Amino acid sequence: MKSVNKVILVGNVGKEPEIKSTKDGRSIASFSLATQDSYKAKSGEYVKTTEWHKVTFFGALADVVASYVTKGSPLYIEGSIKTEKWTDKEGKDRYTTNIIGKELVLLGSKQKAENNEQMQLDLTDADVPF
């Protein structure tokens, strides 16, 4: 039987992305992403909750993160969930859940809007495939 490990998140970046690279020059971008939910409590008041997600992108998408993503950026992310086991200083097993990003859409980005306008100006009728 096949299984699916897919997550979709829409939220805001919590702090400036941390950019690293591997020995062979492959980029790695990590950051926290906040998603919010709300529900109506028994008292009738709406309560907002925030969930924090650790997100990592590799390669070309990490380069996009490095160039365009900053603290507060609204993002749409598709990826998979990966849980890593590690041992702390006291010898206790600990677990960290990470989202490995596979797709990224910059939401509400001024830079994205400017890039789209530029792309539209560069297209001619000959560029349209139909």
- Looking at residues 25-44, what average pLDDT do you find? 93
Report if residue 28 sits inside a domain.
yes
Computed over every residue of the chain, the mean pLDDT equals: 85
Per-residue model confidence as pLDDT tens digits over 103-123: 999 997 555 444 443 333 344
- CB 64, CB 77: distance < 8 Å: no
Q: How confident is the model at residue 1 (pLDDT cuts 50, 70, 90)?
A: confident
102 has a pLDDT exceeding 90:
yes
Q: How many CB atoms lie within 10 A of CB 63?
A: 16
Report the CATH number at residue 41: 2.40.50.140
Cα 58 to Cα 87: distance, rounded to the nearest angstrom = 25
Report if residue 1 sits inside a domain.
no
128 has a pLDDT exceeding 80:
no
Report if residue 71 sits inside a domain.
yes
Q: How far is CA 100 from the centre of its chain?
A: 8
Report if residue 2 sits inside a domain.
no
Q: Is the pTM of this model over 0.95?
A: no
Domain encompassing residue 98: 7-127
| pLDDT confidence of residue 110 | 55
Number of domains in the chain: 1
Report if residue 53 sits inside a domain.
yes
Per-residue model confidence as pLDDT tens digits over 45-73: 999 999 999 999 999 999 999 999 999 99
Sign of CA dihedral 128, 107, 28, 83: negative
| pLDDT confidence of residue 61 | 95
